[in-house]
Structure 1
Amino acid sequence: MTIDSGDVDMCVVGGGVIGLTTAVALAEDGHRVRVLSRDAAGDTTSAVAGGLCWPYRIRPYDLAVQWSVRSFHVLAALARRPEETGARMVTGTMAEATAGGRGARQEPGDGADDLAAWYGAVPGLRRAGADELPAGSAAGWRARTPLVDMPAHLRYLEQRLTAAGGTVERREVTSLAEAGRTADVVVNCSGLGARELVPDPDVHPVQGQVVIVENPGIEEWYVSAGAGAAETTYVLPQPYGVVLGGTARENAWSREPDPAVAEAIVARGARRFPELAGARVLAHKVGLRPARPAVRLEVERLAGGTPCVHNYGHGGAGVTVAWGCADEVLRRVRTLREGDGPRGG
């Protein structure tokens, strides 16, 4: 399966961080790119994300680490212009959830060997000292990593796409084959929508609820998230307030904030930073992470013959792997232009 050489019309389905980042990479490589998205970027799940660059709820771990390291370096460079890009470098602590428990670092059987490469790749990452950990945490890490203001970052990506000649259209896509009738290549970055659009029953939501509060002076991020826990603790200082989380509930579809859950989220954050207990609540938000047993990044032929590069199923690590996955999509497109057939991911 080949596509003609020269400029290629690309149709990217999905306007979240994965779709926009992929579209930017393609447009800056010289392709004519249209993004089709039912929702404005600010209304996507990506806009609800806390924005910490760290692999979370994504498989396969070995590829996720490679993609994450690539994104780390891109976002670190963008952090030199935080007001423009939404990216900042912020120091924080990744703590194990409980003493002796399954914590933020993956345990044996959860891909520990693969994920260890991430710990080796982050500049300056070190083991946290006992005085840097909250009571009940046996171990943790200290690191300076990108922390991304997602609404601002999504606006930046749209502007960068436009500067590269790409466009964004607000309309719902009901068929990948339909999208392929007006493009040389379709790139499917539809996230949770892939469940119906492909269709792919392996795609399912992992519900995340957060509370945004006024910042009482917190400058560092903090995360304690067990590998499969339904409740997590994270405190992420953003320019618009502190994002407190959270939940990770498999197959929960509701987008309505639960007041009792919100109260528990604030209480968990306040156990780490007591000043959060009295912080004024600014907003309650719920997002549905597009989870899958493994990210699908592969090429197939749609009905009608148009090549489609699938790029979905990134779980809770969209911004963390976006640039690495965009590079992989670009490589697949170049392979198509060179005349090779479709390959699985």
Structure 2
Amino acid sequence: MTSTGKIVIVGGGVTGLTTGVALLEAGLPVHLVAAEIPGPTSVAAGAMWGPYLVEPWSKVRRWSLVSLDVFRELSGDPATGVRMVGGVEAARNAVSAPEWSTLLPDFRECSPGELPAGFVGGFRFTVPLIDMPLYLQYLLERFRGAGGTTERQFVGSFDEIADASVIVNCAGLGAGKLAADDDVRPIRGQHVVVKNPGITEFFSEDTGLSPDLVCIYPHGETVVLGGTAIEGEASLLEDPVAARAIVERCAAVEPRLAKAPVIASRVGARPTRSEVRVEADSRSDGVPVLHNYGHGGSGVTLSWGCAREIVKMLPF
């Protein structure tokens, strides 16, 4: 096998596109196949850098740091949709600093005056905040600019893929079905996009394992409000009741949001697994298959780290 063989990526979300860019920029030919490009779950992401309920930490830490460095660099170009934004993560009861806090140089505990009413503790820090529709368009243009080709087609089996020297499985929720992996499950998420009433900092609440999330992510003229985390649900249909509840929860923290005009709802199904799978495998005929899935709600956070791991795993 030589490096001139075609690499086929299955999956058009942030993981597939980022992996494609990493492979192309390593000098390899890449063809990406997916039913939708970009994928709807990635479009629906918030998205703020931060490892969110993913394991194993030893690998997640390394992958997250790689992505953090890339996003810091991209934040210098407005066309990427990536910005470094300060804000607060708070809780209504006492909580410890998350493991990933050591990765951020300005991470510190909030003073009481920095917390909204009803919150007893929290932390202030600066992280990349990503406007996903804009960022995914940037990734797609970077992918095609590097010579990558795309094809809109549903892939139900790796056996459907012909003339591939390597297959890379970045199919999100569908990746588990392709790999016959019963450990993959959906966690439905919904965000509401509203007109920005003047918010410049992010806010997120540490809600533990609750399905009702509270996050406020400003993106210039709009704000993405979240959210939900419904275990086992994969429907991408908008839930208007959930949308109203999201706005109400966020407006309770930031009253200016109460009358902000609603622009859209975005719905995705986080492809969740007990551990992220970045691993080498093979098809029945011996064609190498590299898996890159199971990122849950941390697909953006892990994207560049996992993509570069895939490059290192190539069998040539």
* TM-score interval, smaller chain: over 0.9
1:177-192 residue pairs with structure 2 within 5 A? Answer: 177-179=159-161, 181-192=162-173
CA–CA distance in 1 between the matches of 2:311 and 2:159?
Answer: 20
Instruction: Select 1:34's aligned residue among 28, 31, 45.
Output: 31
Check the 8 A contact 2:88/2:122 in 1, yes or no: yes
* Runs (5+) with no aligned partner, structure 2: none
Aligned length: 316
Q: Which residue of 2 aligns with 1:144?
A: 126
Query: % of aligned pairs identical?
Result: 43
Query: What is the match of residue 296 of structure 1?
Result: 277
Matched, 1:307 2:304: no
Distance 2:90 2:265 in 1: 25
Contact 2:207-2:214 at 8 Å conserved across structures: no
For residues 273-295 of structure 1, the C-alpha deviation after alignment (integer angstroms, 9 at most, x for no partner) is 10100111111221111111111
**Runs of 4+, deviation exceeding 6 Å:** none
SS of 2:274 mapped into structure 1: coil
Cα deviation 1:283-335 (Å, max 9, x = unaligned): 122111111111111001111110000000000011111000011111111xx
Report if aligned partners of 1:78, 1:85 keep a CA contact under 8 Å in 2. Answer: yes
Instruction: Tell me, yes or no, if the aligned pair for 1:177 and 1:306 is still in contact at 8 Å.
Output: no
Q: Work out whether residues 12 and 186 of structure 1, in 8 Å CA contact, stay in contact via their aligned partners in 2.
A: yes
Counterpart amino acid of 1:120? T
Correspondent of 2:52 among 51, 56, 70: 56
Find out whether 1:230 has 2:211 as its counterpart: yes
Residue 284, structure 1, aligned to residue 265, structure 2: yes
* Higher alpha-carbon deviation: 72-81 or 169-178: 169-178
Residue 211 (structure 1) aligns with: 192
- Pairing 1:89–2:84 present: yes
Equivalent residue of 2:51, what SS? coil
Contact kept in structure 2, 1:54 and 1:317, CA below 8 Å: yes
Per the TM alignment, residue 209 of structure 1 is displaced from its structure 2 partner at its CA by: 1.2
- Partners of 1:95 and 1:225 in 2: how far apart? 6
**What secondary structure is seen at the aligned counterpart in 2 of 1:317?**
helix
**Cα distance in 1, alignment partners of residues 170 and 234 from structure 2:** 20
Distance in 2 of aligned mates of 1:137 and 1:65: 28
User: Which residue of the partner structure matches residue 109 of structure 2?
Assistant: 127
Contact conserved, 1:59 with 1:293, CA < 8 A, in 2? yes
Cα distance in structure 2, aligned partners of 1:255 and 1:77: 33
Match of 2:232 in 1: 251
Q: Aligned letter for 1:195?
A: G
1:186-228: CA deviation from partner (whole Å, max 9, x where unpaired): 0000000123222222111111111111100000000113332
Which consecutive unaligned segments of at least 5 residues does structure 1 have? 107-115, 338-345
Q: Determine helix, strand or coil for the equivalent of 2:21.
A: helix
Residue of structure 1 equivalent to 2:69: 73
Counterpart Cα distance in 1 of 2:202 and 2:93? 20
Aligned counterparts of 1:44 and 1:267: Cα–Cα separation in 2: 25
Question: Equivalent of 1:25, from 22, 34, 38?
Answer: 22
* CA–CA distance in structure 1, aligned partners of residues 153 and 237 of structure 2: 24
Match of 1:110 in 2: none
Shift of 1:240: 5.1
Q: Do the aligned partners of 1:99 and 1:136 also contact (CA within 8 Å) in 2? A: no
Which of 296, 299, 323 is residue 304 of structure 2 equivalent to?
Answer: 323
SS class of match (2:154): coil
The C-alpha deviation readout for 1:66-122, integer Å capped at 9, x for no partner, is 11111011011000002x2111111111112x223x68x55xxxxxxxxx2x21111
Match of residue 9 from structure 2 = 12
1:257 and 1:5 mapped to 2: Cα distance? 46
* 1:46 equivalent among 42, 47, 53: 42
Aligned-partner Cα distance in 1 for 2:3–2:133: 34
Contact in 1 for aligned 2:40/2:267 (Cα 8 Å): no
